[in-house]
């Protein structure tokens, strides 16, 4: 099911969803960045804003038009809604000489993600595979995922660090959404809307709309084609798996270790990274305790610490672990790729380390060898 | 009562802020007091119990010959010694004297500097004795203090992260101020504060001191590219935890 929506119809989307008791979370401007937050009106979208990204740098600028989605992805990802930064897993209480274990009560609100970019749709699919795709599902994630509704938005204006075209995840979403919009700025400002599920079609049916003509479909196609061309291919993934595994010892890792702060920002900004730590705490009386799970990262020394010390003590080994997991061993482990090319790890690295450049540096010496 | 573990809280050269963190634990304080005997805590009680003590919390740095002796005695008579705060773990702000002439300071400040008996340096307790646990921070985090006390009382490991402030910053989903243009010490500073400053759009000041494996050279280089002067870099690394080796060495690279 397909239709053309006027910009005002976005307000109807928010209205209909809220009327049906969905919490609507969407991009919105806060703290000089485009973050995800609950909105009550489509007016809270970053209307007329764009982001200027570079390695280790992010700035908002005015666009000079009224585009609703004229920017790429920001510091946060939908991971914050699905694999929450901090979750209480268990509560334990002493009772009559024994103890009682209460699992966290399901308190997940039904949440509509409004404005999910194709790379993020792909990232959600990857986390689905990792966290609920095997025999032992992550209950908290599963609960939140079941209560989510995805309105994707295809990309017309990739940021400097976007490389979804290289990873085959964007700038157009192929599936994994309930409804997808493409914003067309050429000619009259309008959106091509396509339903991906029955729920998406139901929502679309309630919106004020025009039938989609061939010209509209062609215009939408042009939006994503232009975006794809603009990005080009900046990471060759065809042989990256072999390349990295053939170069486990490489001088480039010494070089990157001079720059890397092991600060964890890349992994915590990444929409597919899933590492967490679990801590137990007890209360003063010794009568109750709880188990909390929080975001963690393979970049900390503590993360790999076990009896006898840490296993990844050097910064070389930590960066290598991350790079190779993202681009190679992830595929072996989960049968999906680990990187969707959203560019967050590049933009939000405080010293601007660029995953694409690191691969190129390793490739150059490999090519020299052969 | 007699079976409860004894805790002594000792003050060295400091502002008392970290000890007061304990009194500030209003919700937890009564619970803690019910499970320990306070052997020495002049900020709160006049009662005193002779050593040996099960746990000694030590606040403040070593700046006088008397303090250098006293910490050895406390070590001998204590089961566990926990150093709390930037003074006790790094020498504190007063360690700025380590780059200056103390006699000159004294002659400016005191009418009769000849009565003063002071050391040339302000040093952390780890320079004098073995320490069992360090809680960094200026001041320390209340949550970490309570957790450490609970851990000691229940015989479990304390939860003290040694990773960067960035971990806490990302967990609270603050857009990174460094990437937005404000230099931040978070990537080399140990977590514990909850990343308060970035949440108010300020760069981290490094109150919690160096984290595990801090790459100060790389961060300083980035700050320079962002426009920070050598003097700014010197001051950033030589503040609350300036004498802690990682920050000490980095500040030395920027003059002084
Ligand atoms: S590795 Fe980087 S580019 Fe790839 S998905 Fe993660 S944050 Fe995005
Ligand atoms: S990486 Fe691709 S899909 Fe993601 S925001 Fe950039 S252009 Fe859009
Ligand atoms: S690559 Fe960048 S963001 Fe990642 S740990 Fe290193 S310095 Fe931090
Ligand atoms: S604002 Fe500072 S503490 Fe927070 S992520 Fe950025 S560099 Fe780290």
Under 8 Å CB pairs connecting chains A and B tally to: 130
- List, for residues B80-104, the tens digit of each pLDDT value: 999 999 999 999 999 999 999 988 8
| Whether A69 contacts chain B with CB within 8 A | no
- What's the total number of domains in chain B? 2
- List, for residues A136-172, the tens digit of each pLDDT value: 999 999 999 999 999 999 999 999 999 999 999 999 9
Q: Domain end: B99, B120, B154, which one?
A: B154
* CA A351 to chain CA centroid, nearest Å: 21
In this prediction, residue A326 has a pLDDT band, given cuts at 50, 70 and 90, of very high
Q: Report the pLDDT value the prediction gives residue A241, as an integer from 0 to 100.
A: 97
Give yes or no for residue A8 having a pLDDT over 80. Answer: yes
Give yes or no for residue A214 having a pLDDT over 70. Answer: yes
Q: Please name which of A359, A291, A248 lies closest in space to residue A99, comparing C-alpha atoms.
A: A291
Give the best residue of B147, B158, B166, B224 to mutate against chain A (max A CB count within 10 A).
B166
A49-68 burial by CB neighbour count: b if 16+ within 10 A, else e?
bbbebebbbbebeeeeeebb
| Whether A348 contacts chain B with CB within 8 A | yes
Residue partners of B155: CB distance under 8 A and separation at least 6: none
B130 and B181 share a domain? no
Q: Report the pLDDT value the prediction gives residue B215, as an integer from 0 to 100.
A: 98
Provide mean pLDDT across the span B23-40: 83
In this prediction, residue A2 has a pLDDT band, given cuts at 50, 70 and 90, of very high
- Among B154, B173, B188, whose Cβ lies nearest the Cβ of A76? B173
Residue partners of A222: CB distance under 8 A and separation at least 6: A186
The answer to whether position B195 is within a domain reads yes
- Among A57, A269, A280, whose Cβ lies nearest the Cβ of B170? A269
Query: How far, in Å, is the centroid of ligand 4 from the Cα of B178?
Result: 6
* Whole-number average pLDDT of chain A: 95
Give yes or no for residue B9 having a pLDDT over 90. Answer: yes
Q: Report the pLDDT value the prediction gives residue B109, as an integer from 0 to 100.
A: 87
In this prediction, residue A366 has a pLDDT band, given cuts at 50, 70 and 90, of confident
Which residue owns the Cα nearest ligand 3 atom 8? A263
- List, for residues B192-248, the tens digit of each pLDDT value: 999 999 999 999 999 999 999 999 999 999 999 999 999 999 999 999 999 999 999
- pTM of this prediction? 0.95
Give the best residue of A35, A76, A261, A276 to mutate against chain B (max B CB count within 10 A).
A261
Residue partners of A253: CB distance under 8 A and separation at least 6: A316, A317, A319, A320
Q: Domain end: B94, B128, B154, which one?
A: B154
The answer to whether position B160 is within a domain reads no
| Whether B226 contacts chain A with CB within 8 A | no
The dihedral through the CA atoms of A47, A33, A153, A10 has a sign that is negative
Q: Report the pLDDT value the prediction gives residue A106, as an integer from 0 to 100.
A: 58
In this prediction, residue B2 has a pLDDT band, given cuts at 50, 70 and 90, of low
In this prediction, residue A105 has a pLDDT band, given cuts at 50, 70 and 90, of low
B42 and B130 share a domain? yes
B223 and B119 share a domain? no
Query: How far, in Å, is the centroid of ligand 1 from the Cα of A267?
Result: 8
Give yes or no for residue A104 having a pLDDT over 70. Answer: no
Q: Report the pLDDT value the prediction gives residue B29, as an integer from 0 to 100.
A: 78
Atom of ligand 1 nearest to the CA of A167: 4
Residue identified by tokens 């004229």 is: A70
Q: How far is B241 from chain A (nearest CA, A)?
A: 19
Tokens of A356: 């694409």
What residue ranges line ligand 3, CB within 6 angstroms? Answer: A 260-266, 299, 349-351, 353
Give yes or no for residue A52 having a pLDDT over 90. Answer: yes
Q: Report the pLDDT value the prediction gives residue A190, as an integer from 0 to 100.
A: 98
Q: Report the pLDDT value the prediction gives residue A97, as an integer from 0 to 100.
A: 86
CB contact under 8 A, A261 and B147: no
Q: Which residue range is the domain that position B113 belongs to?
A: 6-154
Q: Which residues of chain A make contact with B159, given a CB cutoff of 8 A?
A: 279, 281
Phi, psi of B141 (to 5 degrees): -85, 135
In this prediction, residue B132 has a pLDDT band, given cuts at 50, 70 and 90, of very high
B47 and B71 share a domain? yes
In this prediction, residue A124 has a pLDDT band, given cuts at 50, 70 and 90, of very high
B131 and B26 share a domain? yes
B105 and B174 share a domain? no
The answer to whether position B133 is within a domain reads yes
Residue from B161, B163, B164, B165 to probe ligand 4 pocket by mutation (most atoms less than 8 Å from CB)? B165
The answer to whether position B1 is within a domain reads no
B101 and B170 share a domain? no
ipTM of the complex: 0.95
- List, for residues B143-174, the tens digit of each pLDDT value: 999 999 988 888 888 999 999 999 999 999 99
B12 and B50 share a domain? yes
Query: How far, in Å, is the centroid of ligand 4 from the Cα of A75?
Result: 12
Give yes or no for residue A286 having a pLDDT over 80. Answer: no
In this prediction, residue A307 has a pLDDT band, given cuts at 50, 70 and 90, of confident
- List, for residues B53-72, the tens digit of each pLDDT value: 999 999 999 999 999 999 99
Which residue owns the Cα nearest ligand 3 atom 4? A266
Atom of ligand 2 nearest to the CA of A170: 3
CB contact under 8 A, A85 and B171: yes
User: Which of A29-38, B37-46, B109-118 has maximum average pLDDT?
Assistant: A29-38
Whether the CB-CB separation of B71 and B56 falls below 8 Å is answered with no
B141 and B15 share a domain? yes
């Amino acid at each position: 099911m397909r239709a053309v929506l006027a910009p005002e119809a976005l307000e109807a989307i928010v209205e209909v969803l809220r009327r049906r008791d969905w919490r609507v979370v969407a991009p919105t401007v806060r703290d000089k960045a485009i973050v995800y937050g609950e909105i009550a009106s489509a007016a809270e979208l970053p209307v007329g804003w764009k982001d200027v990204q570079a390695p280790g740098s992010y700035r908002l600028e005015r666009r000079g038009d009224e585009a609703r989605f004229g920017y790429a992805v920001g510091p946060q990802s939908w991971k914050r809604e699905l694999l929450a930064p901090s979750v209480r897993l268990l509560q334990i209480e002493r009772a009559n000489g024994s103890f009682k274990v209460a699992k966290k009560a399901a308190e997940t609100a039904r949440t509509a993600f409004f404005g999910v970019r194709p790379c993020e749709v792909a990232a959600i699919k990857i986390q689905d595979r990792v966290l609920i795709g095997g025999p032992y599902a992550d209950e908290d994630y599963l609960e939140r995922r079941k209560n989510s509704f995805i309105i994707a938005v295809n990309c017309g204006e990739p940021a400097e660090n976007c490389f979804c075209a290289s990873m085959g995840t964007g700038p157009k979403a192929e599936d994994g959404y309930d409804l997808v919009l493409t914003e067309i700025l050429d000619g009259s400002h309008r959106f091509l809307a396509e339903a991906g599920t029955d729920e998406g079609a139901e929502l679309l049916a309630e919106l004020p709309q025009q039938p989609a003509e061939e010209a509209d479909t062609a215009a939408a196609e042009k939006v994503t084609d232009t975006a794809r061309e603009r990005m080009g291919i900046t990471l060759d993934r065809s042989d990256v798996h072999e390349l990295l595994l053939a170069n486990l010892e490489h001088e480039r890792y010494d070089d990157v270790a001079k720059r890397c702060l092991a600060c964890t920002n890349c992994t915590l900004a990444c929409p597919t990274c899933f590492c967490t730590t679990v801590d137990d705490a007890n209360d003063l009386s010794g009568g109750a305790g709880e188990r909390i799970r929080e975001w963690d990262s393979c970049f900390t020394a503590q993360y790999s610490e076990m009896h006898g010390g840490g296993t990844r003590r050097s910064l070389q080994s930590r960066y290598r672990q991350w790079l190779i997991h993202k681009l190679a061993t992830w595929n072996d482990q989960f049968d999906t790729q680990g990187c969707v090319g959203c560019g967050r790890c590049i933009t939000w690295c405080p010293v601007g380390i660029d995953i694409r450049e690191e691969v190129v540096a390793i490739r150059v010496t490999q090519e020299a060898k052969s | 009562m007699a079976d409860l573990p004894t805790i002594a809280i000792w003050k060295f050269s400091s502002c008392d802020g970290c000890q007061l963190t304990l009194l500030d634990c209003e919700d937890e304080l009564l619970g803690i007091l019910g499970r320990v005997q306070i052997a020495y805590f002049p900020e709160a009680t006049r009662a005193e119990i002779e050593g040996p003590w099960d746990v000694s919390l030590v606040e403040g740095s070593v700046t006088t010959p008397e303090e250098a002796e006293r910490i050895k005695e406390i070590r001998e008579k204590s089961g566990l010694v926990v150093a709390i705060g930037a003074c006790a773990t790094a020498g504190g702000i007063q360690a700025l004297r380590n780059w200056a002439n103390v006699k000159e300071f004294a002659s400016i400040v005191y009418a009769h500097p000849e009565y003063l008996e002071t050391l040339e340096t302000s040093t952390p307790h780890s320079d004098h004795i073995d320490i069992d646990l360090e809680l960094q921070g200026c001041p320390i985090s209340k949550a970490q203090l309570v957790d450490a006390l609970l851990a000691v009382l229940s015989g479990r490991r304390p939860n003290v992260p040694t990773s960067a402030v960035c971990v806490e910053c990302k967990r609270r989903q603050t857009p990174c101020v460094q990437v937005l243009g404000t230099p931040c010490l978070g990537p080399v500073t140990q977590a514990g504060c909850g990343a308060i400053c970035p949440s108010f759009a300020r760069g981290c000041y490094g109150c919690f001191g160096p984290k595990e494996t801090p790459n100060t050279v790389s961060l300083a280089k980035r700050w320079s590219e962002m426009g920070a002067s050598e003097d700014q870099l010197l001051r950033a690394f030589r503040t609350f935890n300036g004498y802690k080796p990682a920050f000490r060495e980095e500040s030395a690279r920027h003059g002084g």
